[in-house]
Amino acid sequence: MGGCGHVGLPLGIALASRGQRVRLYDIDAAAVGIVNEGRLPFREPGAAGVLAEMTAAGQLRATTDPAVISEAEHVVVVVGTPVDGHLNPDPQVVPRAIRTFSDHLVDGQLLILRSTVYPGVTALVEKLISEIGRDVQVAFCPERIAEGRAMTELFELPQIVAARTDATRVRATALFAVLTSEIVDLQPEEAELAKLFTNTWRYIKFATANQFYMIANDLDLDFERIRGALAHNYPRAADLPGAGLAAGPCLFKDTMQLAAVTNNTFALGHAAMLVNEGLPLYLVSRLKERFDLAGMVVGILGMAFKGGSDDTRASLSYKLRRILDYSAAGTLCTDPYVTTDARLLPLDTVLERADLLVLAAPHPDYATLETDKPVVDIWNLLGEGVRV
C-alpha cells in the first residue's frame, strides 16, 4: 500500500534485489505506469538501474489492483500521516487505509506498518484486524532512511522491529534480515515513540542551529565561522548542524504529532517549529533592512526541500516565495531537479534577470555558482555570501 512513493518504492526495490518477489500496490496510476516501465517517478540515487533490472526480470511489478494483496505473504503499509491545518494528527489515517483493502487480506499474512504513526496506532490496527476476523499478524517496523540515501541506508542501518508476540517478531525479523544484519527489538508503543523522537530530535537540532544563526547574524557576526571554531576537534559540539531551511514532509509534522501526544504542552517542539518556520520571514525582514527590496527582482535558487532532491513537499522555498511575492518587485525561481512547477525558469534566465539571489536549497549544482549578483547563502554552500 503506497508502494510507489518515496518510502515504499526504495524498500520494494531493495527487497527485490535481495531475491524477494515484490508487488507494489498504489492508487497513483501514473506512478504505477512509470515504475512498470522500469523508471523512477522521483530522484533516488542508486535506485534507477536496480529498478530497471528488477522490472525486466519480473521480480518487481506495480499495480493499482488491490487484489494483488491477497497473493502476498507480507503486506507492508506505507501511507502518509500528515497533520491537518490546525497541526493535529489523524490517528485513523493508517487504519482507514487498511480498511480500503481489508477484503483482500487473508489468514496467515504478516501486516507490517512502515509509516511514522501517532502512538497507539499499531494497537488500533490490531483491533481492526480482530474486528474483521482475519488471522493476520501485525508488526510495526518504521522506515529510518533519509531521502536520497535509501539504497545505502536500507542495507546499512539497523531495523527496528516491534511486535506483540515472539512469533510475529521472529517473522518480521526474518524479512528485514535479508536487507540488514542488525535488528533492534522493541514493543510497538516504544517503537512508535522512538520514530517520533528521532525526527523531532533532528528538527530541534536544526532549530537550535537556526536560532544561533539569527543571534550571530543580528550581531553582525559569521555563524559558520563560529560553528567551525567551536566544533574543531571538539566532539561534544560535532553534531551542531549548519543553518538552513529545515523542511520536508516528516520533521515538522512528526514534531507536531509528538506535541499532540503531550496535549500540546511540548514547549520545546513548538519553539523549534516557530524558529524553523519563521526563518523565511526573518530572512525577508533582514533583506528589507539591507536592500530596497520593493524595487528588486529576487531569484530563488532551489525549490526542493533539501539538496540533491526533486521533492518539494513542505518545502520552505515556497513559503519564502510567497513572502517575496508580496515584498519584492518580483520573484524568479529555478531548480535543476524539480519538474512539477510551471513557474520555474532556467538558471541562466534567473541569473540574468534577478537583482538579488537567495540560495534556498543547497543543490550540489550551485556549489560552483558564478555570478556578480549578491547571493544570500544561509546554507554556506558557497563558503561566502551576503550576510543578512
Q: Which three-class secondary structure state does DSSP give residue 64?
A: coil
- The per-residue pLDDT for 40 is 96
The torsion defined by the Cα of 381, 300, 275 and 191, in degrees rounded to 10, comes to -70
What percent of the residues of the chain are helix, what percent strand, and what percent coil, each to the nearest 5?
45, 10, 40
Please name which of 76, 67, 57, 91 lies closest in space to residue 3, comparing C-alpha atoms.
Answer: 76
Q: Which three cell numbers stand for residue 327?
A: 515584498
Output the CA–CA distances (angstroms, integers) from residue 330 to 297, 326, 356, 359, 378, in the order listed: 5, 8, 11, 16, 21
Helices (H), the chain: 8-17, 29-36, 48-56, 93-101, 121-131, 150-156, 166-176, 188-218, 223-231, 251-261, 267-290, 316-327, 347-353
Separation of alpha carbons 248 and 27, rounded Å: 22
- The per-residue pLDDT for 269 is 97
Instruction: Report all structural domains of the chain as residue ranges with CATH numbers, in order of start.
Output: 8-187 (3.40.50.720), 205-376 (3.40.50.720)
Q: What is the DSSP annotation of 253-286?
A: HHHHHHHHHTTT--HHHHHHHHHHHHHHHHHHHH
Q: Cell 525558469 identifies what position?
A: 345
Separation of alpha carbons 330 and 308, rounded Å: 26
Query: What is the reported pTM?
Result: 0.95
Beta-bridge partners for 332: 299
DSSP letter, residue 136: -
Positions of the chain with pLDDT lower than 50, given as ranges: none
Separation of alpha carbons 334 and 168, rounded Å: 48
Q: How many helices (H) and strands (E) does the chain have?
A: 13, 11
> What residue type is 130 in one-letter code?
S
Beta-bridge partners for 184: 160
Please name which of 5, 26, 24, 28 lies closest in space to residue 16, comparing C-alpha atoms.
Answer: 24
Contacts of 130 (CB under 8 A, 6+ apart): none
Q: Which three cell numbers stand for residue 323?
A: 513572502
